[in-house]
Structure 1
Amino acid sequence: MYFTDRGIEELESRRGEEEITFEWLAARLQEFVDLNPEFEIPVERLATWLARLDDDEEE
């Protein structure tokens, strides 16, 4: 188990029943990066990965 799995599991247990929009998620990610600029690259990579998730299916 990776250390980050704990955070993912906590997110799922606390907020797993909620429905959110990608607009809301994008705003929270931007807010996080504003508060923690050292995480800009990992957050950008996650956002790009999420944005392009279905690209492989279109080819």
Structure 2
Amino acid sequence: MHLTDQAIEELLDRRGLETVSTARLADRLRYFVDLNPESEIPVDRLATWPARLDDE
């Protein structure tokens, strides 16, 4: 199991029943990057992937 898989499982265990708006998620990602500017590129890649899922 990858470290990422463990983190996703923790997220589901702790927050699995919650619903989150896209706007709230975007705010949290911005806040995370403000605190961790070295993570800007991975967060950018993560944010653009679901944004473009419907693109061909």
| The structure with more radius of gyration | 1
Q: How many residues align?
A: 56
* Partner in structure 2 of residue 23 of structure 1: 23
After TM superposition, the runs of 4+ consecutive aligned structure 1 residues lying more than 2 A away are: none
Structure 2 length as normaliser, TM-score?
0.94
Give the fraction of aligned pairs with identical amino acids, expressed as a percent.
64
Which runs of 5 or more structure 1 residues have no equivalent in the other structure?
none
Letter in structure 2 aligned against 1:28? R
| Higher alpha-carbon deviation: 33-42 or 46-55 | 46-55
Indicate the RMSD between aligned Cα atoms, in angstroms. Answer: 0.7
Relative contact order (alpha carbons < 8 A, sep ≥ 6): 1 or 2 greater? 1
Distance apart, 1:53 and its partner CA: 1.2
Which runs of 5 or more structure 2 residues have no equivalent in the other structure?
none
Structure 1 length as normaliser, TM-score?
0.89
Deviations 1:8-34 (CA, angstroms, capped at 9, x unpaired): 100011001001100000000000000
* Partner in structure 1 of residue 46 of structure 2: 46
